[in-house]
């Protein structure tokens, strides 16, 4: 009986202390759990904020919104892509912020990607040319990036063919998108192939949006996912949180509000 009285007194004193301090124990824990994710420098999807005016990338922004809504904090660590996938697989991170299913099919994915991105065919403004399949490229000098996959298999085969090597200009190294756009504007290439969101972001930074046009798109698109480690006990829960958030953002039209700080106003549908 004495023990029970002491227990009741202790409980009352704790509740009184919480009430005085103004803490509501029925909403969230005092300190939210932190979800640690690997990420890469792939702006505008995932960015190094030190180089991009404090911006983390729109996929990181969407993930943070989803997790914070569910009561979690997000912490990201930037590293090369191969290492990010490897360490996510090994369970050193809860997940990776941007990844393709084909590259890492063993990770745990939400039901839908954050975005799908087509490859666009960029030409200088005023150029009378439109992409109408690989045959329309035969008289054009094409700028591409080494190691990129250009989604449509016939296009990929065309770009890698020795027969077409003389008019395919391949860049690699630092800032390939910006360098390829400069080559296009200087007339050293006729057409530059790039993912539409990546192109829009870099063109905006270069103040060159009005100097080029998108003259066609690939038939297929890259699906850009956030994925979670198969070794994480929370992987299924986190994937479900993100699925529900993405579904809601698409339904209410607010997904574009995450994109617009990086690429401006843009409607993929109107350019199909």
What is the structure's pLDDT at 30? 53
What is the structure's pLDDT at 13? 42
List domains and CATH numbers for the chain: 34-114+224-265 (3.40.190.10), 116-221 (3.40.190.10)
Q: Three-state DSSP class for 228? A: strand
What is the structure's pLDDT at 11? 40
**Consecutive H or E run containing 61:** helix 58-69
What torsion do the CA atoms of 7, 10, 12, 14 make, to the nearest 10 degrees? Answer: -140
Contact 214, 122 (CB under 8 A): yes
What is the structure's pLDDT at 109? 99
Q: Three-state DSSP class for 219? A: strand
What is the structure's pLDDT at 268? 74
Rg (CA), the chain: 24
What is the structure's pLDDT at 23? 42
What is the structure's pLDDT at 121? 99
What is the structure's pLDDT at 137? 98
Query: pLDDT of the chain along its 272 residues, tens only?
Result: 444 433 434 344 433 444 434 444 334 445 789 999 999 999 999 999 999 999 999 999 999 999 999 999 999 999 999 999 999 999 999 999 999 998 999 999 999 999 999 999 999 999 999 999 999 999 999 999 998 999 999 999 999 999 999 999 999 988 999 999 999 999 999 999 999 999 999 999 999 999 999 999 999 999 999 999 999 999 999 999 999 999 999 999 999 999 999 999 887 764 33
Q: Three-state DSSP class for 143? A: strand
156 exposure class (CB count in 10 Å sphere: 0-12, 13-18, 19+): middle
What is the structure's pLDDT at 174? 87
172-177, long-range: CB < 8 A, 24+ apart: 172/145, 172/146, 172/147, 176/145, 176/146, 177/145, 177/202
Q: How many helices (H) and strands (E) does the chain have?
A: 8, 8
């Amino acid at each position: 009986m004495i023990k029970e009285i002491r227990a009741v007194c202790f409980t009352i004193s704790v509740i009184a202390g919480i009430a005085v301090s103004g803490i509501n124990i029925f909403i969230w824990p005092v300190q939210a759990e932190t979800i640690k994710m690997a990420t890469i420098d792939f702006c505008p999807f995932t960015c190094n904020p030190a180089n991009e005016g404090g911006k983390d990338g729109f996929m990181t922004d969407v993930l943070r919104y989803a997790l914070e809504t569910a009561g979690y904090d997000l912490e990201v660590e930037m590293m090369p892509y191969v290492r990010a996938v490897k360490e996510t697989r090994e369970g050193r991170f809860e997940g990776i912020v941007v990844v393709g299913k084909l590259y890492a099919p063993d990770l745990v994915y939400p039901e839908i990607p954050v975005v799908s991105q087509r490859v666009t065919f960029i030409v200088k403004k005023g150029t009378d040319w439109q992409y109408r399949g690989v045959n329309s490229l035969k008289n054009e000098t094409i700028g591409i990036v080494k190691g990129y996959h250009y989604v449509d298999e016939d296009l990929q085969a065309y770009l890698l063919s020795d027969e077409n090597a003389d008019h395919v200009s391949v860049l690699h190294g630092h800032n390939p998108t910006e360098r390829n756009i400069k080559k296009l504007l200087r007339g050293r290439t006729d057409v530059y192939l790039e993912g539409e969101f990546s192109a829009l972001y870099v063109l905006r930074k270069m103040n060159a949006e009005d100097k080029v046009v998108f003259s066609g798109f690939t038939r297929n698109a890259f699906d850009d996912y956030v994925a979670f480690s198969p070794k994480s006990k929370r992987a299924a829960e986190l994937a479900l949180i993100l699925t529900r958030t993405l579904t809601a953002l698409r339904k209410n039209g607010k997904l574009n509000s995450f994109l617009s700080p990086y690429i401006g106003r843009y409607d993929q549908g109107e350019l199909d």
